[in-house]
Every structure is written in structure tokens, then in C-alpha cells.
Amino acid sequence: MNRPPLDPVTFEVIRNALQSITDEMMLTVQRTGRSPTTTQAFDFSAALCDTNGDVLDQGLAIPIHMGGIPNAVQAVLAKFKGRVYPGDAIILNDPYSGGLHLPDVFCVTPIFVEERVFAYSVTVVHHMDVGGRAAGSMAHDSTEIYQEGLRIPPLKLYERGKLNPTLADLIKLNVRTPEVVMGDLASQISACNAGSRGLLDLVEEYGQDLLKDCLRELMDYSERITRRAISQWPDGVYRFTDHLDEDGLSDDPIPIKVALHVNGNSAMVDFTGSAPQTRGAINCVLSQSKAMAYCAIRCAIREDMPNNSGCFRPVEVVAPEGTITNMRHPASCAARGVTSFRLIDAVLGALAQVVPDRVAAAPEGGTSTGRFGFPQPDGSIRVFYDNVFGVRGAWNNGDGRGGAASVGANISNVSVEILESQVPLRVRRYGLVPDSGGPGKHRGGLAITREWELLAPEATITWRSDRRAFPPYGLMGGKPGQGSLNALNPGPGGQTLPTKINTRLKQGDVFRHTSPGGGGYGNPMERDPQATLEDWRSGKVTAAHAREAYGVVIDEAAGQVDAPATAKLRNPRPPTGPSP
């Protein structure tokens, strides 16, 4: 029986209702969570999935998670086919069993209609600690998955509404912050329940048959928009190579290679040629690499469409097993985020050859992030989480922004007031760095620096950053941004630290991280001198940098551009005339 086509009003109402449901799931995690990762950093995601695991809608969340959600749900379906009941809450975090890395714990709950599964609610939260050899479970120098923490394959934390005390006890015994972890898990289940209620309200309003048709059409709609956009791109193969500085155990650069194949209304992203999997914990599972490819292509398609699995259908991703883009057991991956961001940068570098007006120069290379561990008198360890981000590259119509989240992760740093009220740290400095944005007709965003002073007798710190040896690239003649820097006790007698660290601090130590600056776009000599003057007035560039990078001579006493000198610098060609 053929059903009549959906009317556009009902289609839009249901589309927006789904977005409201998943956003409510996000707010539920944020408002009921226990850790700074949920209440401050927003390092979590929420989605509704169909019975195949395809994403129906995702909240205003993290693209890094989006490509991993279908795999997580499919792992649950494979494990518990025919054994899923109302009131179940199934969790997992093992990268080799549908997860991404161990701190990201998925929670999947079924939504039943008339005694049959209609859909699934899904949340994923980056937990404060899941055990392992380093406080915060994010050590870059772990060399195998067994060192990184508690591995959870798909298991029922709740079955038919009843807590599994064995699994709960196992989790609490193996993490450093059991109350916080169990609190965040409870927030995930609450958010899944909110998603279930919202979707069941839609079933009651429209009936399950019409709603199923609309959900199917929403994915088809996103697929059509994606295919239409790709069909306007010139066919061909576009290659780009970017690098990670190192893996924290070896100084060898790590190439990330991409070949973007555009063919009609579909695309293939091929990571063949990228580095073999590393000893350090910066490897990615295949679903992670897929998510990054999808994210980059989604950025180049400036169309309003639902965030669902229909967006993925026109894009094939190839990542050979045993490489950094598709790790083989027992490779480690705790700090894989830095690789995730570089995958986006590499795909965007290829896309800049296809749609140059829709791709910006390189951003800071991903969130710089760390974990502090504070030993307590009773032998426990308090863990705290902080980030430094984000810096955007310039684009064809404007300068890059500073203090804006990465396109791959809509997260935040923890507020200074919250941080200082909860742990023995003092934030001594937090601000933008002059002269750090890549020069160009449009300037890259300025780097960000942040300093923490330890007030406790001792603490551990793991810190993950990159883009020092290979700073963010510029486009169309734009220059790279400034590279990153880590320093212990900056100043005379201070020490420059590697980009990835796992070490101890003592009372009074100061750790400073300076992020990279964004890449520039276009020839710096084409930048409007008045824009450079305004940058100088606001402290974004110094007079010396304005002269060196942009050929703009600033009269600091008068506070204006020295026009004759500037013209001479910006036009160094000799006078035209007949040859002698």
C-alpha cells in the first residue's frame, strides 16, 4: 500500500521536535552530571537512533562522537539480539567492542512501542576517570590498551529497571572517582529516559507508522542535500598531507595522508599512506576516522539539514587496518583526540582544493587538554579536567576567531572560578597571545595561553597538545600560525616541556600552555593597512610584527599608519621604465 507523501508542515514539525528532544537530552546531562566534563566542559553527546543503529538526530554536541554512535548501538544489537527489555541500560567503552577510547562511556536504552523496540536513546560522556596508570585515564605514553583503564564491552548496568550490582561494584572499584563516575552514569540514563519520553510523545501524536515514514524521509532528505552539494564539486582526486609532531614516545613525525575522490554525487575519503599505528596512545578506531571525515565534509556543505546518518551515506571512508587511522588490537588510544583533529585538518586541506571559498585555513589543531591528579590524605586521588581552546584559521572573507570551539568538538574550558573553588590550583594567566595568528590578507586567530599554579604539596599532570613542529597551515598564500608551547615555571630557569607530558608537579610549580595560532588566508601584503592598525591598537599585533609580516609601518607616537614608509615597504618593486 502506497502512503500519501508527507506534508511539508508535518515534516518540519517532526524535524524540529527531534532536535528539541536531543537538545533536552544534552541539557539533562549538563544539569544533572557530577563532573566538570559534564557541567562545565560539555564533553558529551546525545542522540536518537533507529533499530539499525542509524542516527535519527543528534543534539548540539560533538562531531567526534557522532560517527561512533552507530557502531556502539550496533555492538549492543549484536550482543543482546532478542534480549533487550524495557528498563534496560546498556553501557560500553571498549574501543574494540564498539567504543572510541576508554573515557568515552556510551549508554544505550531501548524505546518500546507496543512491546517492540521502536528506537534507541544514546548518550556518550567523557568520564573524569576510568582507571589505568594515570589519573584521568588519558596518558599518551601507554603502549597497549590494557594500561589505559577499565574496559567495558556491551553490558547491562540496568536490566528491566534493576541495577546490576556486580557491574556497579566493578566500576566503582576500578576508578579513582567512583562517586563522580556513577553520578555521570546516572545523568546519562536520565537523559536517555528524557529522549524516550520525547519520542513516545511523538508516537502518541502522530502514530508509529507515520512517524517511521517521517524518520526515514528525514535521513533520505539529508542524503539528498549532501549528494546535491557533492554533485556540484568538480570530479577528481585531491590529495593532502598533514602531520602530527610525534606520539610522545618517539620524535618521528607522523604523516596523515588523505586522497579525496569526488565522483558525481558521492565522495571517498582514503587515508591510505598514513602512518602505521604508533606505540604512543594516539591511535584511532575506524569509526573515529569516519566521524572526522564526515565532519570535514559536513563543514564544506553550507546547507541546513538534519544531523543524521543520511549525511554519511554519500561518503565512503577507507582506512587500512594497522594504521593510526584504524588501529589493530592491542594498540592504545587514550590520547587519540589529537589525531582526530588532524584527520579533520587533512580532509579540509584536500577540500580547500575543491571548494576554496568554503574552507578556512587550519585551526589550532584541536583542543589541548589535560588531567590533574591530587593525592588525598585517605589515599584516594582527586581528578580534575581542563582544556585550552580554540583558535580558528582565517577564511576568504574574514579573520580567524580566538576562543571559539573546534569544529570537531563543541566543548569548553572550565571556568576559572569553578576550577579554583574545587581544586588546589590558581589560574595565574589566561588570554590571547599577540603576533601569534598566521599572517594573511585575513589574519589567523590568536593563540591562547593559560597558566596553572599548584597550591597542593604535589600533583600529577597529563597533558595532550600538538602543532609545534607542524604549525597550523595557511591557505591561498597565507602563512602558518605560531606553534604551541608547554613550559614549567616559565621565565628565567624555566623548562620547555614536550607537547605531550605525563609528569609530577610540586607545590609552587607553574605549568603554562600556549596553544597554536590559526593559519592565515591570502597574501599578507594584500591586508588592509587599517586592519593591521586596528590590530595594533587592540594589542593583537606589535608594531614590529606589523612591519615584518604585513609591510605596515606604524607611527606609534601618532597612533597611525606611516603612509609613505608603508607604501614603500608594501611595493618594493623598482620604478617602471624603459630598459637601459
Q: How far apart are CA 531 and CA 352, in angstroms?
A: 25
3-state secondary structure of 200: helix
Q: Between the CA of residue 566 and those of 530, 531, 537, 561, what are the distances in Å?
A: 11, 13, 17, 7
User: How does DSSP assign 263-291, residue by residue?
Assistant: ETTEEEEE-TTPPBPPSSS----HHHHHH
What is the tens place of the pLDDT at every residue in 23-61? Answer: 999 999 999 999 999 999 899 999 999 999 999 999 877
Q: Which grid cell is 469?
A: 613542529
What is the tens place of the pLDDT at every residue in 504-518? Answer: 999 999 999 999 999
* Of 51-65, 236-250, 523-537, minimum mean pLDDT range: 51-65
**What is the helix (H) or strand (E) element at residue 21, kind and residue range?**
helix 8-32
Helix axes 208-231, 8-32, angle to 10 degrees: 90
Averaged pLDDT of the chain: 94
What is the tens place of the pLDDT at every residue in 142-183? Answer: 999 999 999 999 999 999 999 999 999 999 999 999 999 999
What pairing do the DSSP bridges indicate for beta strands 266-270 and 315-318?
parallel
Q: Which grid cell is 333?
A: 588510544
Residue 1 confidence (pLDDT) above 90: no
Best CA proximity match to 39, nearest among 131, 135, 126, 168: 126
Contact residues for 578 (Cβ-Cβ < 8 A; gap 6+): none
Contact residues for 362 (Cβ-Cβ < 8 A; gap 6+): 242, 345, 348, 349, 393, 472, 473, 474, 480, 481, 518, 519
Predicted confidence at residue 575, as pLDDT, reads: 37
How far does the chain reach from its first CA to its final CA, in angstroms? 88
Q: How far apart are CA 89 and CA 107, in angstroms?
A: 6
Q: Are 93 and 106 in contact, with CB atoms under 8 Å apart?
A: yes
Q: How far apart are CA 332 and CA 89, in angstroms?
A: 27
Instruction: State pTM to two decimals.
Output: 0.94
Residue type, 90: I
Average pLDDT over residues 526-551: 96
DSSP state of 405: -
